Structure 1
Amino acid sequence: MPDKITVAGVSIDTRQWIGGARVASAETFTDLSPIDGSVLGEIARGGPGEAEAAVGAAREAFPGWAATSRKERARILHAIADGVEERLEELAIVETMDNGALLRSHRRGVMPRVAHNLRFFADWLLALDHEDFETRGHRNHVSWDPAGPCVLITPWNAPLMLATWKVAPALAAGNTVVLKPAEWSPLTASLLADIAAAAGLPAGVLNVVQGYGAEIGDALTAHPDVRRISFTGSVPTAKRIAASAAGNLTPLSLELGGKSPLLVFTDADLDLAVDLAVEQYDNAGQVCLAGTRLLVEESVAEEFTRRFVDKATRLSQGDPRDEATDIGPNVHPRQVEKIDGFVQRALAAGARPVIGGHRKDGLYYAPTLLTDVAQDAEIVQEEVFGPVLTLQTFGDEDEAVRLANDTRFGLAATLVTGDPGRAERVTAQLVAGTVWVNCFFVRDLQAPFGGSRLSGVGREGGTWSFDFYCDLKNTVTAPKGWTHHG
């Protein structure tokens, strides 16, 4: 098979990136475009051998990178961000071809965020500090020491943005990285390797390996030389990774999605509430933070539903390369089968489709809203990860909070209310890592991000990221005892 493919005019190397060089694998896997099902290319399919080589390269490069000054590490991260911005259009179109998300979103939001991820953690590194403090005359000094090689396993719904969200703080901290992108959307990770090399990142500091979790992922997460593992994805896969890492007590950061509520109270601005609710169809519903459970106070439920249907049915679904498109395809045939399975089982159990409830041509799934669903129904309790919302009603605040918290997850929550007192009361009771009041998806990298319950382990963002990717050290120095001065 050829070592390179061309996607939308962009040349992409399909081999592994290990130790600063391209490495072929004996086998490949097929990468499909969700837009039309066309074959984008055959991608190097790694296994235990590639995992060993990549971790070995990261281990060898670690002492030199860890000893590199903060200023120089930050400079190189900014140079990588420069490379991302120079190739922004190429990255945007390749990502759209590979995972089906809107090209306009990639151009205007996602790829600029990729560069921002790199710049933010470069700048945070330079400011990272903890004020010294005294204990009985002794000086305490806290420092963040690089931990070692890190394995970063990233999802397919926002491949490059979520990759750099992990890569940037790991590299800034002085660690070396083995990045394994999802096999359904591997292409921009390969381009990131090229951009990083061109920016002057030393060989072996960033390695990119491709393949299936059961073949290369298990070998990476069980490796005794790996000092950190960060994973974004499903709960079953996270359990497998945790079991694999347990033998070496390798620290984990896990972001595992959710089943987030969107609460609409009777005093809410209904137009705002509807806008926020329809926004949950973004990226064809493939957003971990999406408020897929609409919980609406009984007194405004009928009017809310009427306005929601009016707005949602005017969404344009089609080719994500078209600027007018609002909803593109789902990422893979298996994902569409999963989404439709959830919906059809819900309908068979008595759910009523207010809109949608069916597949369309190819990998396009109609935006769906289901009502007449029980709180213990599968469609209410389990993450669908598609353009499928449920609508339930509540009578008062207590019931709203009870319904909102009544799942195994706790990633995010959104509430719409005109009463600041109510907002304060309700948010204090919600089990969620992030709560939005009268807004959605407002994100700042200096804020902690993560989930409660099965939505994850740990927090990322700002100093929390460095706390994870580093070994924190406290050095206590006595006020006396020096025998040499100068």
Structure 2
Amino acid sequence: MSKFIKINEITISSDHYIGGQRVAAEHYLEVFSPIDGQVLGQVANGSPSIINQAIEAAERAFPAWAALSAAERKVYLDKFADEIGKRADEFALTESTDAGVLFSRMQHGVVGRAQLNIRHFAEHALRLQNHSIDTKQAEHLVRHDPAGVVVIITPWNAPLMLSTWKLGPALASGNTCILKAPEWAPCTSSLLADAAQAAGIPPGVFNVVQGTGLESGAGLVADPRIARVSFTGSVPTAKLIAQSAAQNLVPCSLELGGKSPFIVLATADIDNAAATAALMYRNAGQVCLAGTRLLVHESIKDEFVEAMRAYVEALNVGDPRDPATEVGPIIHQRQVERVAGFIERAKAAGAVVLWGAEKHPFGELYFKPTLLTNVKQDDEIVQNEVFGPVLTLQTFSHDDELIAMANGTDYGLGGVCYGEQQHATEIAKRVRTGFIWVNSFGIRDLEAPFGGIKRSGIGREGGNWSFEFFCDIKDVVVPKKPFRASFSQR
């Protein structure tokens, strides 16, 4: 018998979505809301037989979907985006309740971005097959052919945005997809299946498997029938995925964590920089690209701290469904314990608390925005990702010292640099990272590359970079003169 989760008047299937149908499971997992810790219901856990069903369904659907032109696939994908839009309020409330993200941000930003992810890459795919390289000897017709069955694994902090960010180019390329829903926040993945079905996406082209990473995720990644694995999440999980996929030489795209520098030069607009720094507490700090290491010129440190304090004290911590809320809950009790553990160890190592560093009275999974100073470069709190509302503050006196600090971790995802525009841009060029914002934060374009270096990941997403991963690139060589084979030819 099929199971369902009810969030207000929204009915969400708890079952897998395979081959265009809901598929029940032998075992189900409880799902909690981080808002109040209440059980939302149960979702299916993927067994080996479920994994096999999903892969078989995707394999059956692949030849017909791959045979369509990019324009024909675009018709389906535009309808898919339309269906997401029709369910905008459902997606917003569901993800807010399930993952604890801000309802207002879902409603006014994320759902629209999810639609754009699908539409943009469907449009981009139209341009891919027209590329040729004209040389003296031949015309090289460069093709982006679909790779096959793709596994997409997304984290719990932004399920809808990150799922569609990967599904857009994967489906537009002609691949068939299996989305592994995040264990702690699976509900919007299930709603995506409803939207795909309503859009008429052919059975087996898009499938959703739920469950734990150790069972569902590991089973999918290890299967030799998988052509690509796209993962966003933690470094330890990425290592397991890469090791497993390597057994079958399956390419992986890995967008991982960050410990990004937030640089404030002596010439910075201090108030603007402080206001932006307070944004790092958004989503309770559970954002991989947040600038969590504040590196502030020593001459403006006190002024910057007081300006930032005013913005932080004005932040509303509370129920993420309330439009006035700016900082919601941490996803799970285990994550709260992780955050608290980092802070206690940092304090024991000599860190000084400027604000926060304790649970917020609003609820069990709420934590006060925190800033720690008097930290050393090799301290755990500086070197490792906390993934909570915790920032550190260090000062510098000259550019070379700053660059050494900014580049002095094993991560390299993002960064922020505030200061006089030319100077800030020159500093940004020297920071070893996948991307960095100058006098800004969060500006994204789907044509631009996104990804990290070092422990922050492998590969890039966005524009042609997404298609280069999800496609098999083929060179069709057409000679300009009659060709005759010769043993002397090189």
So what's the TM-score if we normalise by structure 2? 0.97
For residue 323 of structure 2, give the secondary structure of its aligned residue in structure 1.
Answer: coil
Is it true that 1:457 corresponds to 2:450 in the alignment? no
Q: What does 1:372-451 correspond to in 2, within 5 Å?
A: 372-420=374-422, 422-451=423-452
How many Å separate the matches in 1 of 2:76 and 2:432? Answer: 39
Give the Å deviation of 1:115. Answer: 0.5
How many Å separate the matches in 2 of 1:277 and 1:410? Answer: 19
Give the Å deviation of 1:372. Answer: 0.6
Is it true that 1:183 corresponds to 2:183 in the alignment? yes
CA contact (8 A) 2:133 2:142 kept: no
Give the Å deviation of 1:181. Answer: 1.4
Alignment-derived partner of residue 133 in structure 1: 133
How many Å separate the matches in 2 of 1:322 and 1:175? Answer: 39
**Deviation string, structure 1 residues 159-215 (Cα, Å, up to 9, x no partner):** 011001111110000000010011100001011011101101000000100011111
Cα gap change, 1:20 to 1:377, in 2 (>3 Å): same
How many Å separate the matches in 2 of 1:289 and 1:5? Answer: 31
RMSD of equivalent CA atoms:
1.2
Give the Å deviation of 1:480. Answer: 3.5
Aligned partner letter, 1:25: A
Give the Å deviation of 1:481. Answer: 3.9
For residue 126 of structure 2, give the secondary structure of its aligned residue in structure 1.
Answer: helix
How many Å separate the matches in 2 of 1:155 and 1:451? Answer: 16
Is it true that 1:228 corresponds to 2:228 in the alignment? yes
Alignment-derived partner of residue 364 in structure 1: 366
Cα gap change, 1:423 to 1:224, in 2 (>3 Å): same
**Deviation string, structure 1 residues 313-367 (Cα, Å, up to 9, x no partner):** 1111001111111100011111111111111111121111101001123100100
Alignment-derived partner of residue 101 in structure 1: 101
For residue 125 of structure 2, give the secondary structure of its aligned residue in structure 1.
Answer: helix
Aligned partner letter, 2:430: Q
Any unmatched runs of 5+ in structure 2? 484-490
Alignment-derived partner of residue 171 in structure 2: 171
Cα gap change, 1:133 to 1:419, in 2 (>3 Å): closer
How many Å separate the matches in 2 of 1:157 and 1:80? Answer: 23
CA contact (8 A) 1:103 1:323 kept: yes
Q: What does 1:142-153 correspond to in 2, within 5 Å?
A: 142-153=142-153
Alignment-derived partner of residue 297 in structure 2: 297
How many Å separate the matches in 1 of 2:405 and 2:9? Answer: 49
Aligned partner letter, 2:365: L
How many Å separate the matches in 1 of 2:442 and 2:311? Answer: 20
How many Å separate the matches in 2 of 1:474 and 1:457? Answer: 25
CA contact (8 A) 2:95 2:187 kept: yes
Aligned partner letter, 1:428: K
Alignment-derived partner of residue 331 in structure 1: 331
Alignment-derived partner of residue 320 in structure 2: 320
Cα gap change, 1:131 to 1:2, in 2 (>3 Å): closer
Give the Å deviation of 1:8. Answer: 1.9
Aligned partner letter, 2:260: S
CA contact (8 A) 2:2 2:24 kept: no
Cα gap change, 1:2 to 1:51, in 2 (>3 Å): closer
How many Å separate the matches in 1 of 2:214 and 2:380? Answer: 27
**Deviation string, structure 1 residues 200-248 (Cα, Å, up to 9, x no partner):** 1000000100011111111100111100000000000000000100111
How many Å separate the matches in 2 of 1:452 and 1:299? Answer: 31
Give the Å deviation of 1:128. Answer: 2.4
Give the Å deviation of 1:457. Answer: 0.3
Give the Å deviation of 1:2. Answer: 5.3
Give the Å deviation of 1:145. Answer: 0.3
How many Å separate the matches in 2 of 1:121 and 1:424? Answer: 30
Aligned partner letter, 1:207: N
Alignment-derived partner of residue 217 in structure 2: 217
CA contact (8 A) 1:281 1:367 kept: yes
Q: Percent identical across equivalent pairs?
A: 51
Spell out structure 1 runs of 4+ moving beyond 6 A: none
Is it true that 1:10 corresponds to 2:10 in the alignment? yes
CA contact (8 A) 1:359 1:365 kept: yes
Q: What does 1:56-71 correspond to in 2, within 5 Å?
A: 56-71=56-71
How many Å separate the matches in 2 of 1:156 and 1:259? Answer: 19
For residue 227 of structure 1, give the secondary structure of its aligned residue in structure 2.
Answer: strand
**Deviation string, structure 1 residues 134-157 (Cα, Å, up to 9, x no partner):** 233311110100000000000000
How many Å separate the matches in 1 of 2:154 and 2:351? Answer: 34
CA contact (8 A) 1:267 1:419 kept: no
How many Å separate the matches in 1 of 2:112 and 2:136? Answer: 49
How many Å separate the matches in 1 of 2:319 and 2:187? Answer: 19
Q: What does 1:60-99 correspond to in 2, within 5 Å?
A: 60-99=60-99
Is it true that 1:270 corresponds to 2:292 in the alignment? no
CA contact (8 A) 2:265 2:424 kept: no
So what's the TM-score if we normalise by structure 1? 0.98
How many Å separate the matches in 1 of 2:421 and 2:168? Answer: 39
For residue 157 of structure 1, give the secondary structure of its aligned residue in structure 2.
Answer: coil
CA contact (8 A) 1:8 1:94 kept: no
Q: What does 1:248-267 correspond to in 2, within 5 Å?
A: 248-267=248-267
Any unmatched runs of 5+ in structure 1? none
For residue 267 of structure 1, give the secondary structure of its aligned residue in structure 2.
Answer: coil
**Deviation string, structure 1 residues 12-46 (Cα, Å, up to 9, x no partner):** 11001111111111001000000000011111111
CA contact (8 A) 1:260 1:409 kept: yes
Aligned partner letter, 2:439: N
How many Å separate the matches in 1 of 2:352 and 2:393? Answer: 10
CA contact (8 A) 2:411 2:455 kept: yes
Give the number of equivalent residue pairs: 482
How many Å separate the matches in 1 of 2:317 and 2:128? Answer: 45
Give the Å deviation of 1:126. Answer: 1.3
Alignment-derived partner of residue 285 in structure 1: 285
